[in-house]
Structure 1
Amino acid sequence: MIKLIATDMDGTWLTDQKDYDKELFLCEFAEMQKQGIKFVVASGNQYANLMTRFPEVLDKIYFVAENGALVAQGRQILHVDSLGDDIYQTLLKITTEYPYPAVVMGLVSAYVKKSSGRAYKQEMKKYMEHITVVDSFGEIDDRIFKVSLTVPEDKMSKILRELKEKYPEVGFVSGAADSIDMQTKGMNKAVGLAYLSQKLGIKSSEMIAFGDSGNDVGMLKYVGRSFATATALPEAKQAAGQIIGSSNESAVQKEIAKLLEIK
């Protein structure tokens, strides 16, 4: 029996234009309400950004944001797991070791360096509602969830491997084909779902999840049934129980319609 449906956003739920089939979703959500199924937006993205995607049902859905470090119900934050200072300083050190831009994700805002340029800030605005430009990451005063390093796609696997070998105390996952999420070791979307499992009294076997990246692997392995999109990274496809179409084909929404037996 399905009691909870969780989905990643970029590359999974959202099309390349950062949109989705809202008419189909609202039809599905009405059916989820009838059946008592919880809908969870599980993403590495900023909570404030995720809320803007679902204005019609905002107060009736759950969020597992920042790769599991923040859990919320509608506008109410339920749980926050921010970085300790030691690991945060390690992540800042890593950002100085590579010649690539980075973004620091905090509770109040996301932060990018002025030196990364306006184009980088504009690109990050696709994923973040609140962004603050700083001269140095050292001046940030916020509760920090993670740091993401943007790297060339053709160097992703090499850099990811290097980081895991050099810093075994840190958790590294591919947030997308060109970004590496760095945060507390063991932190992932499954942690957020486990919190909701306890709070809502829903077993992991009663959950379904959809994803496409390295930061979805924990979630895909945690739930009873899991799906990866056709364009998913290899590690996500390997973790998923089934491969479906792409986000540009609204494959997740169509699969949910099948699961809910909506004609």
Structure 2
Amino acid sequence: MIFFNHDYYIWGIVRNKGKKYDMYLHNYKEALLYYLYLVSSKNKVYSGFRALVNISGRTLRYLLEICNEIFEIAIANEKFLYVEPKAISYKTQTDAIYEISNKRVRQISAIPEIEINIRTFIIALGKICQAHHKELRISKIEPNHFSIKSSSGKIEENIGIFLKEYITRGVLIKCKNSKVKNANYIGADEYLYVLHPIYTLSFQISWRRKQKIEFDIKEINTLISNNTAKITSLDKGTQPIVKCNG
């Protein structure tokens, strides 16, 4: 790890404190690591095939793209040879993963026919999630997805069109909200909208689906407005207020 020479020793001490600390470790270990990496302005390290599969969101083209980038960097920097393969360093794997994630964010395009700028929304969402990851009190554990709160239980048509485009393009993943309080009620918060894991590393946030952020209709309309001034003023209980540069 980057931060501690004796990180496993430290976690071992915490484990020996008892059940309370063991539960804290289980719930907050990854969140604390993301916090430490962010406040230290360092990239979290990723390596191993399982990590590649998870970060690719089990999307084959993303997995192949990451693997190709890893081999290209390894050939250039580590003199890797296919005829005599050897282990590739975690640094090369990490650099390749971040490169592909950043590339994917840069390549997000606008949809002029319905006047929605996908990139502006994703950057805003990513920065809101990142702001939560940088909170010392960790009020939200590794957020990278959201639900929509509506007093009427319905989503406005313009928001529905917007979300459909994101899901179709694979930027957001739509899934059932298993924690809806009333199982007999079907409303706007019936679904969760998860940022595809391939985009999460660009914002140095977790790819794991832990705790959600809840937006109301007004906030969602602000996020899809493409009005950077309004988006910048949006504060989801994080400090500092999120800034979106597009």
Does the TM-score normalized on the shorter chain lie above 0.5? no
Q: TM-score, with normalisation over the residues of structure 1? A: 0.27
TM-score of the superposition, structure 2-length normalised?
0.28
Rg comparison, structure with higher value: 2
Greater helix percent: which structure? Answer: 2
